[in-house]
Every structure is written in C-alpha cells, then in structure tokens.
Structure 1
C-alpha cells in the first residue's frame, strides 16, 4: 500500500498509507440536497437536544460528582454513560458551526486522576475497583470514545483540554495494559480504532503497538464465559481465524474496524485479508436489504447465516454506524467500490432512518416489519432502547443518538478521496471540493434523481483522472457517462473514469438509472420467502398503514411482482397490488390447491422511503411485501 503523505488532517480517519487518501472537512463541503438538510438539523437541533438530555438525566453531572466526592451515591446512567458524553463532544468538534463546550471539557479534565485513569463508574470509594469487570464495565470502551473525541478536537479546533485529557488516558492504558501489565481485553471494542488514530495524530508508536496487542489478544479466552458465551465478545476465536462477523454486532464491527486500522498501519496484509473475508461472508449471509446488521434482540447479535427475520430485525443504529466505519476503512485500504456500495446503502437506510425529521427523536433498533401500531413516546421520559413503534427522544442506553450525531457531523469526509492519479467520488451530494490544485463542484438531486454533474473550476495543467463510482444497484439498468467533449458511453457498476487535461468550465455528467424496481430475497432466507421489496436508487422503500384505506394495516398488502412499480408523487413509489379482505378464521392454514380468499380492493400500494417511516404518527409497516401468487 502506498503512503499517504499529503492532504488535510481534519478528518476522523487519517491512514498513513493505503490505496486512497480521504479528504478533510476543510477540503470538501456539502452545499445542498439530502445530506445538507440532515447536517443542518444535526447542527441546529440534534447536538443541543443530546446535550440537554444528558444534563437532565445527570450524565454530564457525573464528572462534577466525581470531583466532589459524591459519585458513589449520585452517579446517574449506565456504566458506559461517560462514552456518550465523549461522542457528543466529538460531534461538536466536527460540526464547527455549532461551537465547543469548554465547561464540560474542563469538568472532564478535573475528574481525571493523576495517573490518567478516568471513569465515573469505577475506582473511587464506594465503587467497584478499577478493571474489576472487563467483560461488562466498559472502561476501555469509554477511553476509546474519549480518545476519538480528543483526536477530533485536535484536528478540527486545535490541541485543547479535551485532547490533553485523552492523551493522558491513552498513556495510562499503555502503562496498564501493555506487555507485563493486565494482559486482557475490554468486553466492548473501540479502544483499538482510537489508539491507532491517536498514533496517526501524534506519531507515537506505543499507541499503535497497544492497539495491535488488543487485536491479537482477542479470541484467546481472556474474558469470562458469560450468559451469551465468548462469541458475544468475539473472544471465541482470534481475529485472524474468524470466517464471519459474529456475536454482538456493534462489538464485532468496531473490532473489525480496529483490526483494519492496525493492519494498514503495520502493513499486515494477512490481517487485512482476514477482515475482508469476514466482511464478504457477513454481507453475503448476515445483512438485511437495508444494510442493517444484527437479527437478535436478546443479545444484540448477528444471527446464523440467512437468519434475517424482518419483524425481529434488531439492526441497531450503532451497528449501522460501525458498518459504515468498517466499509470506509476497507475502501481506503483497497480502493474497491463495493465497500462504498454498502456504506451508501447503510447510510441511507439505517443511519438516516434513526433520527426523526426534526432531529429530536431516534430509533435504537430498525425493524423491517411493524405488525402493530405503537404509542407515542413521552417527550420528557426515557424509553426502552429496543422500542420501534415510534422514535423516542432519549433512551436509558442512548449510544445511538450521539453516534448518529458524530457520523452526520463528519459525513463530508466520506464523499471523496484522492490518489497519485487524481480524485475519486464515492458518494453523491451537492458539494464543493478543493484539494491539491483541483477545484470542482458537484450538482445533483441524488438520490431522488440519478443525474450527477461535475464541473471543473480549477485544474492542474497535466492530465489527471476523475473516477466516479457506479453503484452496484445500477446493475440491470443503463448508466451513462458524458465527457466534456460530448463523448457518451455506457458504464457498468464499479468505477467509471475520465482521464484528460481538464480546463475550468469542463463538465462531466453521470446518469444513473434511478427507477423503482423489485428486489427478491435469497430463497435461503426463510422469513421472507414469497415476498419482494422495492428499491429506487440506494433507497429501500416500505409500505406504511397511514397510506392505506381506513381499516387496513400493512399486513393486508399483496403486490403483483409481474408488473413494475412506478414513481409516484412527492418521492413515493406506487406498487401494483391488492389489499386482502379481512377474515376471521378458526385455522390460519389452507390446502395449496384451494382458491385463495378474494381481495377486497384492487389498488396501487403507495410506498415511502424506509428512512422516512414513522414520522406521521403510529403506524404499521413492512419492507418485504407478500406477492399475489398464492404459492
């Protein structure tokens, strides 16, 4: 892999080598469209909403309580509540228009002990001793998010109190968990990615070495064999031996991301290949059509191969964030567009599905089938974390709102990269890019429209290559690329390139076949056999009861997959189909050769983007739609 020696440092992932170099927040700006609206809501509503709730439930006050010696009786929140405060501060650093929180940063620094230890749930009089519960205590996990927040501050705002606190904590981790110290791992990975990023920031080899130690220790049974088994913590097999991601989905994905970081920085091609192998198997057999991962509610874990029930989909929002992080790292390391394909699917259908339109309520889990209408959550009370009837303003475990906040704040850094040959576009949005003598503007209504226009504003005199990802979802359609001289050609899913000496004013047009079409599941996914879904561009669609005639729920729908779905008004899709007549039966089964019950209505079924569901009040919903074929 080539070394990355130039470019911006204002980004969350800054590998020193790899096929591609990411662009920083000072090199790329989203100016309009889908993600600009989301980023505006994130900056003007979500960040303050999260800060207000953390004050209300006492999580930010834990640091002051620790300094004042009353933490043993006054601490609020779960053992990992510190981590969500850190994720919020990270989001504030990336979202430079919002402003920092120096008072909170000072309170955190004051709670740090002289040797660098910092946690409000352990280590003080009246609390459990330090590192007495590595399986569930989340101490290293909290350090990981602290360090990521410190790196964000240093890169986006300059080296401040939070960055200094994070580095002292990292030094403590290396001294305590290095060779000859506590030779174990944390039950919840994330310290690995954080230490690698701190090594990239500071140039300190010991941080990278410690991250590599944590990756290599995983899978050797250093954690207790608990209720869900060692697989829950990915402590059942070494990373290099695993064939698929398994256990707790967020933990597995964070660990894989950390392993990629270690592999890239140490040049460990075998470790990188192991993670790619796991990613491939997981995408092929353990991933929902939305990009969501994790089908078990009880242990928030991956199910077995092809166990992807839509109504029991856990598909945690944090797992979506972690999946994007992993795919992004693999894209930077390899340059392969398939990783950007999954990142796009997950961003639009998991990450974007979590927050409400006003940015003040969230999904924790992302079901694909809601059978009953839920109730509106109270606006001033925490909600159960897996409730999926309507988004809730806060959860007893609120890892997801802050994870979404930091992801959306840093989103421009996922759009484009450079290498020695030119510039690559991976995600499409109205944007302006200025890097290395290249200046360009992207104009598009994507994902509503498939036209992407790239205008060159500034260019070196020598030839260079502009690469544009042609998404995998375009397979079966006709994608077209038009060069500045008017030359037009069809392009296949993968990467389309234009190499020339560009001039200011040159335009390149990519036309993607955005049209609704049916998606059929693998027949080995028993839970959705006999159903179809609708996708339009990167967006998965769903049926919601608020669009059906009175008295009908989403489970009444049957669609005719022999006819194509069509675009409807206001971003909807209309699918040909029927609403079955409600019938009370004493027995829910019938012989196959018996004529099915007559339909009550012949109608067009209105479908909406999955990310938008549950914004119009309680409803039933489904992504996978039974067909009119009685078989």
Structure 2
C-alpha cells in the first residue's frame, strides 16, 4: 500500500487522486459550524451514533461477530446474511465523527474506545485468508460464495471497506484498513473473468463493493482494486443472475437506457459507474451515468427527491409511475441518489446534479430520521390515508426505534457525519458552493489556497453571506449555485451595491476577480411560496398541487387539522398562501398557512362509484384553515394522516 501514512487525510468519502478525470474536486477541510445542518448533525453526533452501539447489541449484530471470533457461544442472531453491514456503517459514521471532533478539539475518549473495541471485534472475526461474513462463517449459509444473489458477501465487504477508508482518513490509523485490504485481496484472488485462473466469474446481486473498491484504490494506490471494480461493473447485464432487473443484470450498464430494478442496487451501481469514469476517463461510462441520471430525475423521481415506486422488490416503477401512499422511497435509496448525483456533479461540473442533491437532502433523505434522532422511517410515502393501520416494521409509515432489516438508520448516520464533504468543491481556479450552510470551505486557485466562510440561516431565510478569509492576491472565481427552483435573487456587496462582474453559466453564478481578505458578498434567494404541479403523465396526482418554499417540500398533517382527516381536504388556490415563522413548533420551522375546505360527500351505500361528479365546491364543504409543515419534519408528533399533494378547486 503506497499511501498509508501516519497522519489523517483531509479528504472525505471521495478522495480524488492526481490522475482523476473530473471537472471538480471536493473542497478541502470543510466545516459546518452553525445553522440547519449543524443542528441535524449535532443530533446525529449526540443521539444517533451513541445509541448505535446499544441497538447493534440488542439486534445481535455484535453477538454474531463474537460468535465467529470464538468468544461467544450460541446461534446466529438475525434474519439476514447482511447483518454485518449495520456494524460497518456505524463504524464509518463514528469514524467521520471522530475526525470532526478531533479537529474541533472535542474530547474523543469515549467514542474512540467504542470504535477501537468494535474494530478489534471485527478483526478477531476475520478468517485467516481474509474472508469475513458472520452469516456464512457461523454455518448459517451453505458455504462461501454459494449464493451471490442473496448472500450479500460482497455487499458486506463494500461497507467494511468504506468504514476502513473513513477510519484511516479520520484518524491516520490502519487497524481497520488492514482488515479491509486483507478481505479485498481475498476477493481479488477469488473473482475474475473466465480464463483468469480465478474460481468465480460473477458478481454480487447487490452492488456496493464496486464503489468501495474504487475508493480503496484511491486510498492505497493499488490498481488491482480499480481493475476489480471495473470487472464487477462490466459483469452486470450478462445473465449471471438470469438477466433480472432486480439484480441489475438485465442489460449491460453502457447499453442501459433507463433506471430499473431495486432502487438502492441500481444507484449504488451507478455511483460506481461515475467513480470508474472519473478514474479511467472512459467516455461510455460518463455518458451512461449522465443518460441514466436524466432518466431517473425526469421520469422516476418524486417531488421530495425520493426514488422507488414499489414496495414489492423495492424497485423503480415505469416512467411517471409515482404513487403517493404506496410510494416506497426507501431512505437508503435517497442516500444512494445523493451519492450518485454528487459524483456526477464532480465528474461534469454541472449544477443540475447538485440541484437534485439539495432536494433529496432536505426532503426525501431527512424525513427518514426523527427530529430527536431516536426513531426512523424505512419508507417515505407522500401520503398516509385516513384510517391507516400500520404497526412497526420496515414498511410502516410510522416511525420505528429500529428495524429487522436495519440498513437505513446507520446509513443516515454515515451520511450526516460526512455531510460537509458534499457542500463545496474546487476546480483549481476557485471554489464552488453547491449547498448552503454556515461554515468554512477551502479551494485552490493556481496552486494557492482560497478560503471562504459562509453565514446563513438557510433554508429559513434565503440570505447567504460569503466572506473571503484567504486569497492569493491573484484573480480567482467564486461560483454560487443558483437553485433550479429560484426565479428571483439578488447578489450585492456588503455595502448593498450590486455585484456587477457576475456571469450566469448553466445554473452557476460566477464572480471572477482579484479578491481581498474580508471581501463579502450577499447572495439572497427569493423564497416565494410556490404551488407546483406534476407532469400530466403522473396519474397519481393529476388535479393536485404541492406547496414548496425554498428547497423544502411541504405537507399537511392531521394533527394540525382537528375535526377530521385529510382525504377530503381541498386547497383553495384563490386565497394567497402565507409563510409563518414558528420557532415553537417542531424545533423551529416556517409553516405555510392557506385556505381550503373539507368536501361534504354524501354516503351512497355499499358501492363507492357514481355517475355524477363528487361535489367539490366550497358551498358543499366546511371552510378550513390549512397549515403545512416541512415534509422532513412530519411524523414527529401525534400519529395520523399526512398529505403532500392536495386536490384544488
């Protein structure tokens, strides 16, 4: 391994090397110091990550490692062969948190001890030849690599590798990295194309190891890992798993025209496609990434950024098949979408990818975690009907403490713990701000550092102040993403005068000049309330609108509308919407107040269909003040119905 050093790297989940072929690179040493995302990350650090150990103990994940290590007797606990990944995702989250705490001068004694304890347990469970999967090692499965469709051994290996990379980059230590390298070397000795002398020519039906191997190559400089990632990506679509879309095996990725099958599997695979395009420069991979991203965003993405139309097989539906109450929108799929989009943003420099990152972060992703960090949603529907009955569990529309398949909670933890690395980039000629959060971000211009600080209460307000903290004394470019939803904005100097030297460029506002330390510009995004309609081909919401403000999608909750449910509620679009700042509600949110009514629909007996139209005018219903809250904050109070899309008069 050529890059394993004793000092931690400033890089986050993506560490591009000098030969990486991307337009942009992640900003160095980013920090988030206050505001919306700082608050969410504080909950992650103080509630989610600490409780992770307790939940991994109670679910049996750590028991299984002890069982294989020989320090615990008994049987395997849990229902799935991928139980180990929950441990690895927690380790990744904890490792990123360790790096941030150490950089901020916070005490890391307790978390370090917990991480060290789990790493030692993982190392003790590893077989002598490098293999590691407690399901098969405990005798639960029929034998190593015997079930590439459901065994998830390479999927588990991918999350182990990503945890090891995070730990090494955050602490400089190599204990977990050594475990991951040993396992990767074992995989490289087992898998390869026919004629390579390796015993297995195939791939795991759940992608994940591919993008992890690219990152292991970036961390160690070992090209075998990059080659192995390329082999796995290339092997998809050739019938190893019966040409099934669910397994990402129906069509080779370079030929694919649409996203399909299991949403998380598809998007983890496409994240690897973007990674390989960055490292190899292959145009066909970059073109496939762009083509498939567009197909997803244009025809298969919900308003919240959520993806996955079907509960059955957790997969994408047909184009424009975007249901409401039966929307699956798995939290893990939102995370995979963010990972794919961010890689495409770096690869191409195009703002549209970061537009989707923003929408997904604030809505489809964040709804998956409760405000207090104590409970979770696996699925994120856009409606919960009156009379909904759902207990706890993976597919419930009620928050749950943990899941039988607990993939989502530690996945949320690792994204939040590394979120600062998704906010800004550099291209060698300045710095680009993709997402807006109070903090400090460093780029580069002609080999010299450029540093800016951001002060904002976004998304509560649209004001974003950017101050230059370090500048080389030569011209460089500050680029600000103009969100796709924003139609009006101002860009002024600190004294209120208009910034004249700004150039609009396909979603970016670019200001190129010789900056002085202390220069401040204020970018204000007009956050007018918006009513949006879906493409008319989306049958589920025809005749409906949704409410948006800034990057936030809004919803109605039954708790705010006493006297009945929401299935009969109609929005009166003739009455203007009003935004109200509510610091007392849901941790402090801006609500949207509108007017509507509940339809009075006569009971017609045993058959719900009739030849005449259902009355829907105010004269036939009861007037009602409607209060909408940000979608990410729903399901944090009394249980009840919820609705994003609203019928209109």
Q: What's the TM-score bracket when you normalise by the shorter of the two chains?
A: over 0.9
- Give the whole-Å Cα distance in 1 for the aligned partners of 2:227 and 2:280: 9
- Within 5 Å, give how 1:27-66 maps onto structure 2: 27-66=29-68
- Give the whole-Å Cα distance in 1 for the aligned partners of 2:27 and 2:275: 17
Aligned twin of 1:572: 591
Pick the aligned partner of 1:588 from 599, 608, 616: 608
Aligned twin of 2:489: 479
- Shift of the 262–595 alpha-carbon distance from structure 1 to 2, 3 Å rule, reads closer
- Shift of the 186–74 alpha-carbon distance from structure 1 to 2, 3 Å rule, reads closer
> Offset at 1:119?
0.5
- Shift of the 595–299 alpha-carbon distance from structure 1 to 2, 3 Å rule, reads closer
Give a deviation string over 1:335-374, Cα, whole Å, max 9, x none.
Answer: 0000000000000001111111110100000000000366
Aligned twin of 1:294: 308
- Shift of the 125–495 alpha-carbon distance from structure 1 to 2, 3 Å rule, reads closer
> Offset at 1:215?
0.4
- Give the whole-Å Cα distance in 2 for the aligned partners of 1:266 and 1:186: 22
Aligned twin of 1:618: 639
Stretch moving more, 42-51 or 485-494? 485-494
Runs of 5+ unmatched residues, structure 2: 1-7, 102-107, 583-589
> Offset at 1:582?
5.6
- Within 5 Å, give how 1:461-472 maps onto structure 2: 461-472=473-484
- Give the whole-Å Cα distance in 2 for the aligned partners of 1:603 and 1:216: 57
- Give the whole-Å Cα distance in 1 for the aligned partners of 2:463 and 2:204: 46
Q: Contact between 1:340 and 1:427, CA under 8 Å: does it hold in 2?
A: yes
Give a deviation string over 1:297-338, Cα, whole Å, max 9, x none.
Answer: 011000011111111100000000000000000000000000
Pick the aligned partner of 2:324 from 289, 293, 310: 310
- 2:517 aligned with 1:517, yes or no? no
Match of 2:90, SS state, is helix
- Give the whole-Å Cα distance in 1 for the aligned partners of 2:81 and 2:325: 30
- 2:411 aligned with 1:411, yes or no? no
Aligned twin of 2:585: none
Q: Contact between 1:72 and 1:124, CA under 8 Å: does it hold in 2?
A: no
- 2:151 aligned with 1:137, yes or no? yes
- Within 5 Å, give how 1:165-314 maps onto structure 2: 165-179=179-193, 180=196, 181=198, 182-223=200-241, 225=242, 230-314=244-328
- Shift of the 316–593 alpha-carbon distance from structure 1 to 2, 3 Å rule, reads closer
Q: Contact between 2:424 and 2:433, CA under 8 Å: does it hold in 1?
A: yes
- Give the whole-Å Cα distance in 2 for the aligned partners of 1:311 and 1:127: 36
Match of 1:555, SS state, is coil
- Shift of the 406–602 alpha-carbon distance from structure 1 to 2, 3 Å rule, reads same
- Shift of the 458–594 alpha-carbon distance from structure 1 to 2, 3 Å rule, reads closer
Aligned twin of 2:96: 94
- Shift of the 596–531 alpha-carbon distance from structure 1 to 2, 3 Å rule, reads closer
Pick the aligned partner of 1:386 from 380, 395, 415: 395
> Offset at 1:573?
0.4
Q: Contact between 1:72 and 1:126, CA under 8 Å: does it hold in 2?
A: no
Aligned twin of 1:23: 27
TM-score by length of 1: 0.93
Give a deviation string over 1:13-56, Cα, whole Å, max 9, x none.
Answer: 122321111024xx111111110000000000001222211101
- Shift of the 593–555 alpha-carbon distance from structure 1 to 2, 3 Å rule, reads closer
- Give the whole-Å Cα distance in 2 for the aligned partners of 1:414 and 1:594: 48
Q: Contact between 1:72 and 1:125, CA under 8 Å: does it hold in 2?
A: no
- Give the whole-Å Cα distance in 1 for the aligned partners of 2:141 and 2:613: 67
Stretch moving more, 135-144 or 180-189? 180-189
> Offset at 1:209?
0.1
Stretch moving more, 119-128 or 245-254? 119-128
- Give the whole-Å Cα distance in 1 for the aligned partners of 2:218 and 2:40: 30
- Shift of the 71–196 alpha-carbon distance from structure 1 to 2, 3 Å rule, reads farther
TM-score by length of 2: 0.90
Stretch moving more, 57-66 or 175-184? 175-184
- Give the whole-Å Cα distance in 1 for the aligned partners of 2:327 and 2:56: 28
Match of 2:455, SS state, is strand
- Give the whole-Å Cα distance in 2 for the aligned partners of 1:184 and 1:496: 46
- 2:168 aligned with 1:154, yes or no? yes
- Within 5 Å, give how 1:413-492 maps onto structure 2: 413-436=421-444, 437-474=449-486, 477-483=487-493, 486-488=497-499
Give a deviation string over 1:513-536, Cα, whole Å, max 9, x none.
Answer: 112110101110111101000111
- Shift of the 528–574 alpha-carbon distance from structure 1 to 2, 3 Å rule, reads same
> Offset at 1:72?
7.4
Runs of 5+ unmatched residues, structure 1: 1-6, 378-382
- Give the whole-Å Cα distance in 1 for the aligned partners of 2:50 and 2:483: 35
- Shift of the 160–238 alpha-carbon distance from structure 1 to 2, 3 Å rule, reads same
> Offset at 1:375?
7.2
Match of 2:485, SS state, is helix
- Shift of the 201–413 alpha-carbon distance from structure 1 to 2, 3 Å rule, reads same
- After superposition, the CA RMSD in angstroms is 2.0
Q: Contact between 2:601 and 2:614, CA under 8 Å: does it hold in 1?
A: no
- Give the whole-Å Cα distance in 2 for the aligned partners of 1:174 and 1:237: 24
- 2:15 aligned with 1:14, yes or no? yes
> Offset at 1:568?
2.3
- Within 5 Å, give how 1:308-387 maps onto structure 2: 308-372=322-386, 383-387=392-396
- Shift of the 595–106 alpha-carbon distance from structure 1 to 2, 3 Å rule, reads closer
> Offset at 1:503?
1.1
Match of 2:312, SS state, is coil
- Shift of the 114–502 alpha-carbon distance from structure 1 to 2, 3 Å rule, reads same
Give a deviation string over 1:592-620, Cα, whole Å, max 9, x none.
Answer: 56854744322331100000011012010
- Within 5 Å, give how 1:551-562 maps onto structure 2: 552-562=564-574
Match of 1:30, SS state, is strand
